[in-house]
Amino acid sequence: MFSVAASVALTTCTPSLSSLEKVKQTKVLRVATVNSPTTYYQGPDGPTGFEYDLARGLAEKLGVELQIEVASSPPAALELVRSGSADMAAASLGVSRLRGEHVRFSQPLLTVVPQLVYRMGAAPPDNLADLKGSLVVPKGSTHAEHLLIAKRSAPALTWSETEDDDAEDLLEKVASGEIDYTIAHSDLIAINQRYYPKLRVAFALADSQDIAWAFAKDRDSSLFDAASDYLGAIGETELARLRDRHFGHIEQVDALGAVALATHAQTRLPRYRSAFQKAAAQNGLDWRLLAAISYQESHWDPGAISPTGVRGIMQLTAQTALHLKVADREDPFQSIAGGARYLRAIIDQLPPEVVEPDRTWLALVAYNMGVGHLNDVRELTDSLGGDGRRWLDVRQSLPLLGQPKWYKRTRHGYARGRQAMHFVGNVRTYYDMLVWLTDSSTDGTTMADNRDTAITTTPAMAPPSDVVPDAEQVLKIRSPIL
């Protein structure tokens, strides 16, 4: 009897481990998330995504392994946290008063806008009271919370909530005409408009909404505090860099541009795909990056001539063609091979402290306006307190090359820096679209094969999961999606 009582006493006196101590003891950080281009997905090089990258950084800081628990929806991810099956949730979670009753939210990771989406061709509604048709939102979403509040002033408002479809599924259903409206976050809408160009935004339901991580409210705050310290330590600059990496160019190309690329990928790209693949393989590049540059330069038109005299499918100048020993700039195969060698040479000229993906984006600046101007803008960026090794900082400085106050300080003078800025953004967008439109397994070339060369990061988003892309059967332009 005495030994049993003593055992009980000892057990009750032993302090339980804090949430942070449990993570460190098990050496695993369990993170609940969802498959989404804004959070977590499997890219050609493995797991990626904005919130995945952040969570991986937290796990590394804590010295533990990151264990991803994929939930069917953001509310399901929250339930994994509340039940103790996950330590935290990183699932594009909108901060709301109702959710805040059950979980602790971290500082905001980014800010989005909840928007109502309809299909091009339909009459755009002015407000929620103006809706004529079916409105469907994910069950348990913050969008449903917005609608409950809106119904107070619009009693006739009706909608349905679904557990079977996530936000991306509903966007596809709007694009195909299966439903009339849905509500989604602005970042997810912008990504999907490139794949479903008939998606249109009618209006915003709120000025903004914060996206944050969630932690159990009924447990101690030690893990929450550690995550807060981590986010505070990386700072807004690094958060901005991550946001740019994943979302910085998603609105660069409009719906018409997306349709045009899909059309040209079907009618023009097949003629030159093998040439892009061969040239890329010879120079350690991703062929879709090379094709994206070419599309930005000429829309894959070998006879293209710019007002400044550059010619061909890769728009090489006469001097560059001579240097690359390209005898005929208007021969698409010579031009593609020369353009690949040129990009490779630029990448190799950059100092080793410039790492991917910034290395590739800065090389694109030089491809557009020359290595000399790139060096100028990198030096200018450093002098202004930025980091000339980082695309995000250099991008902010590029427009200054068109202003006398600034370009007079540089070695090579005036340059159309704003044009170069848009060039890089467009190429990044076209590259992401080509990754979606082509199956990387068809030719065995993925960015993982080029880990030490150009673009060792994954594209900014994954394609919608219900689409099986193929470059030869790209998108049927008569499809209701387009």
Cα-based distances in Å from 385 to 162, 381, 397 = 49, 7, 11
Tokens 């932690």 correspond to what residue? 215
Q: In whole angstroms, what is the distance from residue 271 CA to residue 265 CA?
A: 10
Tokens 């509604």 correspond to what residue? 125
- Nearest 5°: the CA angle 398, 284, 43 is 80
Please say if 168 is a catalytic residue. Answer: no
Q: Judge whether 440 and 291 are in contact, CB under 8 Å.
A: no
Q: Judge whether 342 and 334 are in contact, CB under 8 Å.
A: no
Q: In whole angstroms, what is the distance from residue 264 CA to residue 181 CA?
A: 30
Of residues 101, 297, 353, 472, which has the active-site annotation?
297
> Per DSSP, what are the bridge partners of residue 33?
70
Q: Judge whether 428 and 460 are in contact, CB under 8 Å.
A: yes
Q: In whole angstroms, what is the distance from residue 201 CA to residue 117 CA?
A: 5
- Spatial neighbors of 227 by CB under 8 A, at least 6 apart, are 58, 88, 106, 213, 215
Q: In whole angstroms, what is the distance from residue 283 CA to residue 431 CA?
A: 17
- Nearest 5°: the CA angle 269, 273, 274 is 155
Tokens 């193929």 correspond to what residue? 470
Q: Judge whether 212 and 105 are in contact, CB under 8 Å.
A: yes
* Residues assigned a catalytic role: 297
